[in-house]
Structure 1
Amino acid sequence: MLLGCIGDDFTGSSDLGATLTRGGMRTVQYVGVPDGPADPGVEAGIVALKSRSIPVAEAVAQSLAALDWLRAQGCGQILFKYCSTFDSTPQGNIGPVAEALAEALDASGVIVCPAFPAAGRAVFQGHLFVADRLLSESGMEAHPITPMTDPDLRRWLARQTRGPVGHVPASVVFDGAAAIGAALAAEQGLGRRLVIADAVRDADLMALGEAAAEAPLITGGSGIALGLPANFAVRGLLAGGEAQWDGQAGRAAALSGSCSAATRGQVAAHIASGAPAREVTALAAMTGEVDAPALADWAAAQDGLPLIYSSADPETVREAQETWGGAEVAARLEALFAETARLLVAGGVTRLIAAGGETSGAVVEGLGLTQLAFGPDIATGVPALRAGPELAIALKSGNFGEADFFERADRVLAGEAG
């Protein structure tokens, strides 16, 4: 294995895997730290964790365990992947995990760059933008678990870490890999272990990747991986070739627990099309008014693509959190979706679509999946995934995809044109 990746959630890890696969690397996504060795043909291995919002100490411990396994597979370079909206709190978990990995690898001048221009995420003058809005004005400031109220990544990361945070500005990045390398070395000389790097174009991410060819550790969103496969290709280390996607016949279903504006719009579009949909409110989940067997039975009785969703607006989510507590509401909904996914697949569903990072994690865990292979893109940042000989899935971050995402995902999973 050449490149070892640690993802802090399942949807972002699949987004990363799609990027590396398009770049020509034979990539496999593992669900948690594997018990045994990787297949020798794997060139990029992604250990997908569910560590984004767990206690800091647990996130660090899980990430270091993933690092140990990846190094045992022969990886000479490690990538820590987090969300392109830098989802975290003032306590972590991005900073503490990045710092712990850097210390374990004796790395300094480590790139920190969540930019993903294809999805509208850009870092400029150390600030994170979502399209033409600062992160703190993009809707992420109302995130129920990791509200992002400060777009200055230098300031946000400094709250999470012990050491000073560096910065490579766009004026340097635009000058290319050599200039970036010199700037990173200068930041390293100043004792700055973690360095925010600006990037507003794919070309900037390619230059950052080239500059990091020999770096033991890189951190960022999936966009930072754009330039990494070429580093291995120029050394003749990639076998090449693309996996074939045959599609999956059978029945389909979709589960959505994301409260992002994009997913709420996708749910609304699905309902407006006349497709079957059933809402699960926090009240119904918390009081036991609805359970997984009832939801699975409902889905089995529908034609087309049935959608089960709990994608409420932020105000409704806040009210539920005030009544029962945010952690309890999230845990109850995740458990409900996990069991529903298990019953759906046991009942014959062969194409399953999950929207939202926490929902996707619950689905993957509920199905007991251990590794995923990559197929064609459904939308930017969302690949089709092969979870077994008779199961294809899609795991979507809340903010990704167009209005018709659910229908498009079903067509791609089935092997039809998007």
Structure 2
Amino acid sequence: MTVSVQSPRALLGCIADDSTGATDLANTLVRNGMRTVQTIGVPAGAALPGVEQADALVVALKSRTIPAADAIAQSLDALRWLQAQGCRQFFFKYCSTFDSTDAGNIGPVAEALLAALGSDFTIACPAFPENGRTIFRGHLFVGDALLSESGMENHPLTPMHDANLVRVLQRQSKGKVGLLRHDTVARGSVAVQHAIGALRGDGVRMAIADAVSDADLHTLGEACAALPLLTGGSGLALGLPANFRRAGLLPERADADNVAPVTGPALVLAGSASKATNAQVAQWLANQRPALRLDPLALAEGAPLVEQALTLIAAHAEPVLVYATTSPEQVKAAQAALGVERAGHLVEQALADIAAAAKARGTRRFVVAGGETSGAVVQALGVQALRIGAQIAPGVPATVTLEAQPLALALKSGNFGGPDFFDEALRRLGGEA
């Protein structure tokens, strides 16, 4: 029996292509006993407080929709920082709905990381069964629907029209893409290792891995313990902590999610146009809670919506919702009038400006919906790093900043959470909703 010993440095180094994806992954690691710190961007200068106590480090980039060359450069910068922290294995995390375009960025970044690590193979597995994302014969399902029929085909930035991930990833990649089928995964980790050997022999550099249950993800994690790089959604990380325990590098931890509660005024910001966030906004409005909608067309015309939001926040002791969330049709209309990039930037900048001003006026708790929105907000708040706490909803933990006057944040992927998520998050961040 192997005796666990505490490693003095981080074991797992992770690179996420957006802020909510980073917290989603960090949540999985914490729930499985790894003390986890998430950084906002690649840290510069002096060492961050708390990093030396982390078992896992997650670098949150904002690289999902930027040009592929820029995403590669940022990801390699993150890899070098994680290597300098002593990490032994690396994880490239992207969305469980494989958000990308035929130009990237999943394939190009994964291939660049493989090359930098001197490795010839990795798997790609965005499955997250707890949130309804499963992969069978290379096809990604969201609930009972194929990805291409799930609503993701209407995503304003990364519309997904093909559920066959082998085809999607091959269009983005220079190397050969293969498939690790479910009938192999179901036979266990040894069978998966043999299949990986065969795929390598066929010249495959990356393989989409089927997974329809958490048991499949544990199998994949165990089978890939020796791979320098893994890529996928947060579910693939389920089995990684156990690998480090078996190697005697990670002690059993019952307190990995311990963070101090934060009290004080709260604010909810929503930029996602996903079905889940639309339902959450609708629930808030149905309960007649204070709210203001940001219309990108009005923002483009110079309407003082940021000032109006701050006035509304000041007028209410209870949390206010400021949102740009709307129907796919209205999103497309705004994009047609303004262009996709400008429409998104106007909303993100307005929400970021509101967050920064609210912080200056004493707001301490923030619930943020949407990956791009979360990235803009944490940058505006000046957040450098987060300690990851207990789960609020699948894929969404409570987090607390590592600073003298901490903030509490819940950073939510647009597709995550039930209709009452905003109120539940406010409660779990340390105070009443």
| Aligned 8 A contact 2:124 2:232 in 1 | yes
Tell me the equivalent position of 1:45: 57
Tell me the equivalent position of 2:424: 408
Q: Deviations over 1:11-69 (max 9, x none)?
A: 01001001101111111001111114463222111111000000010000000111111
**Is residue 258 from structure 1 mapped to residue 267 from structure 2 by the alignment?**
no
Q: Deviations over 1:72-103 (max 9, x none)?
A: 11112110000000000000000000011111
| Aligned 8 A contact 2:139 2:164 in 1 | yes
Decide which of 9, 23, 28 is 2:18's aligned counterpart: 9
| Aligned 8 A contact 1:305 1:407 in 2 | no
Aligned pairs, number: 417
**Is residue 371 from structure 1 mapped to residue 380 from structure 2 by the alignment?**
no
Decide which of 344, 349, 353 is 1:330's aligned counterpart: 344
| TM-aligned CA deviation for residue 299 of structure 1 | 1.1
Decide which of 177, 201, 215 is 1:165's aligned counterpart: 177
| TM-aligned CA deviation for residue 401 of structure 1 | 0.3
Tell me the equivalent position of 1:109: 121
| Aligned 8 A contact 1:109 1:185 in 2 | no
The answer for unaligned runs of 5 or more in structure 2 is 1-9
For the residue of structure 2 that corresponds to 1:227, the secondary structure is helix
Q: Deviations over 1:128-166 (max 9, x none)?
A: 000000000000001010000000000000100111101
Please say which of residues 115-124 and 28-37 is displaced more in the overlay: 28-37
Tell me the equivalent position of 2:4: none
**CA–CA separation in structure 1 for the residues paired with 2:128 and 2:406:** 32
Decide which of 203, 215, 227 is 1:215's aligned counterpart: 227
The answer for unaligned runs of 5 or more in structure 1 is none
**CA–CA separation in structure 2 for the residues paired with 1:134 and 1:142:** 13
Q: Deviations over 1:292-346 (max 9, x none)?
A: 2331221121232210000011111111111111101111111111111001111
**CA–CA separation in structure 2 for the residues paired with 1:31 and 1:371:** 6
Q: Rate the CA distance shift 1:368–1:246 in 2: closer, same or farther, 3 A.
A: closer
Provide TM-score, normalisation by structure 1. 0.97
Please say which of residues 388-397 and 263-272 is displaced more in the overlay: 388-397
Decide which of 257, 267, 272 is 2:281's aligned counterpart: 267
| TM-aligned CA deviation for residue 241 of structure 1 | 4.5
Q: Rate the CA distance shift 1:408–1:170 in 2: closer, same or farther, 3 A.
A: same
Decide which of 314, 331, 336 is 2:328's aligned counterpart: 314
Matches within 5 A, 1:41-120: 41-120=53-132
Provide TM-score, normalisation by structure 2. 0.94
**CA–CA separation in structure 1 for the residues paired with 2:83 and 2:140:** 31
Tell me the equivalent position of 2:311: 297
Matches within 5 A, 1:16-35: 16-35=25-44
**CA–CA separation in structure 1 for the residues paired with 2:250 and 2:360:** 38
Amino acid at match of 2:275: A
**CA–CA separation in structure 1 for the residues paired with 2:70 and 2:292:** 35
**CA–CA separation in structure 1 for the residues paired with 2:198 and 2:386:** 40
Q: Structure 1 runs of 4+ off > 6 angstroms?
A: none
**Is residue 226 from structure 1 mapped to residue 235 from structure 2 by the alignment?**
no
| Aligned 8 A contact 1:262 1:403 in 2 | yes
For the residue of structure 2 that corresponds to 1:40, the secondary structure is helix
| Aligned 8 A contact 2:259 2:387 in 1 | no
| Aligned 8 A contact 2:270 2:370 in 1 | yes
Please say which of residues 81-90 and 271-280 is displaced more in the overlay: 271-280
For the residue of structure 2 that corresponds to 1:255, the secondary structure is strand
Identity %: 52
Amino acid at match of 1:33: V
| Aligned 8 A contact 2:97 2:147 in 1 | yes
Q: Deviations over 1:264-298 (max 9, x none)?
A: 01000001011111111111211111242331221
| Aligned 8 A contact 1:292 1:343 in 2 | no
| TM-aligned CA deviation for residue 415 of structure 1 | 5.5
Q: Deviations over 1:229-264 (max 9, x none)?
A: 000112221243414334222111100010001100
**CA–CA separation in structure 2 for the residues paired with 1:348 and 1:305:** 13
Amino acid at match of 1:141: E
**CA–CA separation in structure 1 for the residues paired with 2:263 and 2:43:** 29
**CA–CA separation in structure 2 for the residues paired with 1:128 and 1:368:** 36
For the residue of structure 1 that corresponds to 2:53, the secondary structure is coil
**CA–CA separation in structure 1 for the residues paired with 2:65 and 2:269:** 21
Q: CA RMSD in A?
A: 1.3
**Is residue 187 from structure 1 mapped to residue 196 from structure 2 by the alignment?**
no
Decide which of 128, 137, 162 is 1:125's aligned counterpart: 137
**CA–CA separation in structure 2 for the residues paired with 1:334 and 1:287:** 16
Amino acid at match of 1:104: A
Please say which of residues 302-311 and 91-100 is displaced more in the overlay: 302-311
Amino acid at match of 2:27: A
For the residue of structure 2 that corresponds to 1:107, the secondary structure is coil
Amino acid at match of 1:24: G
Tell me the equivalent position of 1:283: 297
For the residue of structure 2 that corresponds to 1:226, the secondary structure is helix
Tell me the equivalent position of 1:398: 414
Please say which of residues 200-209 and 280-289 is displaced more in the overlay: 280-289
| TM-aligned CA deviation for residue 406 of structure 1 | 0.6
